[in-house]
Amino acid sequence: MIANRFRSGRASRPWISGIGQSQGVFRRQQAAGLTLVETVVVVTIMGLLTVIGLPFFTGTIQAQRLDGATRQIASDIREAQARASLTGWQYRVVGYNQSSGDSHRNQYRLMGRSSAAIAWPADTVGAFQSTTQMAGEWVDVTGLYPGVQINPSSASARFWVAFDSRGVAFDIEASCNPMLLTGQNGTSKSLRVTTAGSVRIQ
């Protein structure tokens, strides 16, 4: 009898089960609130890391562009020297400095002639190859490596370095030795060509 009354008493008290349900809802709401707080914290931390890391990331990209431009110009000068040694022609790399008002500023190209008796092709001529002359395509340094400039403070509009049939640098324009390349963040690198034809990056 007593047991039956106890059981019937529990059964007749729906507010007890109601309390349990309320506590469950409260726990779920509390858990959802913690998840929201954690999300806000994570987003805040990510934002701070982005703000702190962005200047470093930008500086790294600019340094890579400057390094890439310097290595490419050095490689193309070495190619001119190698072609002269292999073919017996004279080759030169000629271009326009940043200080130039020419439409080809911060650009350069490779040119060749079969001997000193033949004139160099005109700077503005289109790319071509003949039995006595050649002119390559323009290499746009700023287009390939945004922010990089060639000899920005030079008084000379043009630069060039020429190699004879032995690969010796016999004609080096003053702004090409050394050649100064500057990046968007103000850093710089220089190229120096020796008479023997070697190219040094400093």
The pLDDT of residue 55:
62
What counts of helices (H) and strands (E) characterise the chain? 3, 11
The pLDDT of residue 165:
95
Among candidate residues 108, 113, 125, the one with its CA nearest the CA of residue 74:
108
Could you tell me where the DSSP H helices lie in 102-157?
141-144
What band does 2 get if pLDDT is binned at 50, 70 and 90? Answer: very low
What band does 15 get if pLDDT is binned at 50, 70 and 90? Answer: very low
Close Cβ partners of 47 (under 8 Å, ≥ 6 residues apart): none
153-200 tens-digit pLDDT: 999 999 999 999 999 999 999 988 899 999 988 899 999 999 888 899
The pLDDT of residue 26:
47
Global pTM value: 0.73
More confident residue, 115 or 29: 115
Half-sphere exposure (Cβ direction) of 132: Cα atoms closer than 13 Å: 7
In whole numbers, what is the pLDDT of the chain averaged over residues?
A: 84
Task: Lowest mean pLDDT of 25-34, 98-107, 114-123, name the range.
Answer: 25-34
Whether the pLDDT of residue 150 is over 90: the answer is yes
The pLDDT of residue 141:
96
In the numeric block, which tokens belong to residue 162?
């020429």
More confident residue, 145 or 31: 145
26-82 tens-digit pLDDT: 455 555 456 877 777 777 777 776 667 556 556 788 889 999 999 999 999 999 999
* CA distances to 79, 125, 157 from 119, in Å: 21, 13, 21
Q: What CATH number belongs to 66-201? A: 3.55.40.10
